[in-house]
Chain A
Amino acid sequence: MSSFTKSAQQWATFARSWYLIDARMQPPGKIATMCSVRLQGKHKPIYHATSDCGDHVVVMNTRHIAFSGNKWEQKVYSSHTGYPGGFKQVTAAQLHQKDPKAIVKLAIYGMLPRNLLRRTMMQRLHLFPDDDLPEDILCNLAEELPQPRKIPRKLSEYTQEERDAFPMIWVPPEDFRMK
């Protein structure tokens, strides 16, 4: 790269990349931290808050995110319409039903710095509920980021040999009656 002209080197260093993240079976908070780091440009050594060095991030399968614990029923998203009596509270499950992109969007919005650049960074975020992406976005993607959470296998995904090879702690006697 040392044979580049100065302008070509400048273009290369400050180029904006497009990242792809698959949010299937992932906690939305972990997805949001990865996205906010790249939207701000903090993953680059040339980062500065005023130099507009953030990248584009495309998140797909936001409909299939996975909250841990009982957050689907317990986590509450609040908003107020501005009119009297307009305080609305919905659970995460209800919000996800109404708009499958909202949970990830609100999580990322809350993790970005609270300044005027936040709206610009949110414009560089592209959310899709399923994995069909439009052609012009597919053409731009440069890197797919690894998923933050390792997805555990379902019992149906284990082969019969693996199930037999799993150690049994206690073998029931022949006259044992299961309930």
Chain B
Amino acid sequence: MTARGTPSRFLQSVLRNGVGRYVCQLKRIVLIFSQKGPGSLGAREFIENGVVDFARKNPGTVIYVSPQPVQVAKVVAEYLNGTVREETVNKKSPQEIGELLKKLSTQSGLDIIRIRKPFHTDSPSIQGQWHPFVNRPATMGVIRPQGKQVQ
């Protein structure tokens, strides 16, 4: 659809994250995979090798590893503002899964829709925005045509 028909938002951060302390917005990662299915092979290898490093690098994120009899392996990411994102990792290599998790850890939970402007500021004007009475000489009383012509 067109940009006008789909929702859009302005660039923002969650509660000015990063201005002071940075808080990782990724709350929880659930790795759902099958112990025997062929599509979960990459997931199984990632869990064998890479998931503990990822967990150590992101101390604020809780990682659940949940083997279930599913056909399609997936990753469910939950964010601090409540957004839940599901990504399928079926038939992906462990490196791809690792990069996907890295991308999810750097996202905030805001909607992934068109961003209207790639910039935002809380203080758009430092010296004060112009209005017609800036730099206008002060007048005494009401403006009237004076009949002061000297003949």
A contact residues vs B (CB 8 Å cutoff): 1-2, 9, 12-13, 15, 17, 20, 22, 24, 44-46, 60, 131-133, 138, 141-144, 156-157
- A138→B51 CA distance, assembly (Å): 78
A17 CA / B129 CA spacing, docked (Å): 17
Having A9-B129, A45-B130, A143-B137, one finds 20 other A-B pairs with CB under 8 Å, namely: A1-B128, A9-B131, A13-B130, A15-B131, A15-B132, A20-B145, A44-B130, A44-B132, A46-B130, A60-B145, A131-B145, A131-B147, A133-B145, A138-B143, A138-B144, A141-B142, A142-B136, A143-B143, A144-B139, A156-B151
CB neighbours of B147 from chain A (8 A): 131
CA distance A20 to B145 in the complex (A): 9
CA distance A12 to B125 in the complex (A): 14
CA distance A81 to B134 in the complex (A): 47
Task: Give the residue name and chain of the A residue nearest to B128 (CB).
Answer: A1
**CB 8 Å contact bits of B7-33 with A (1 = contact, 0 = none):** 000000000000000000000000000
Alpha-carbon distance A157/B136, docked complex (angstroms):
32
On whether A157 and B150 interact (CB within 8 A), knowing A20-B143, A133-B145, A138-B144, the answer reads yes
Dominant SS among interface residues on chain B: loop
Chain B hits for A12, CB < 8 A: 129, 131-132
In the complex, residue of chain A having the shortest beta-carbon distance to the beta carbon of B125:
A2
> Residue on A with the closest CB to B145?
A131
Instruction: Check if B145 sits within 8 Å of A142, measured CB to CB.
Output: no
Q: Which residues of B contact A22 (CB under 8 A)?
A: 145
Residues B96-151 near A (CB distance < 8 A): 128-132, 136-137, 139, 142-145, 147, 149-151
> What residue in chain A is nearest B139 (Cβ atoms)?
A143
Which residue of B is nearest A17, CB measured? B132
- 6 shortest interchain CB distances as A-B pairs: A141-B143, A12-B131, A131-B145, A17-B132, A45-B130, A144-B143
11 contacts between A and B (CB under 8 A): A1-B131, A9-B131, A12-B129, A12-B132, A22-B145, A138-B142, A138-B143, A142-B132, A143-B136, A144-B139, A157-B150
Measured between beta carbons, the chain B residues less than 8 angstroms from A142 are 132, 136, 143
Interfacial chain B residues near A141, Cβ < 8 Å: 142-143
A156 partner residues in chain B, CB cutoff 8 A: 151
In the bound complex, CA of A41 to CA of B17 (Å): 41
* Chain A residues within 8 Å of B149, by CB: 24
Which residues of A lie under 8 Å from residue B132 when comparing CB positions?
12, 15, 17, 44, 142
Shortest CB-to-CB span from B39 to chain A, Å, is 52
Q: Who on chain B is nearest to A2 by CB?
A: B128
Contacts of B144 in A (CB 8 A): 138
B-side contacts of A46, CB under 8 Å: 130
Cα A128 to Cα B131 in complex, Å, equals 28
Residues of A within 8 A of B143 (CB): 20, 138, 141-144
Q: Which residue of A lies closest to B147 (CB)?
A: A131
A45–B149 Cα distance when bound, in Å, is: 35
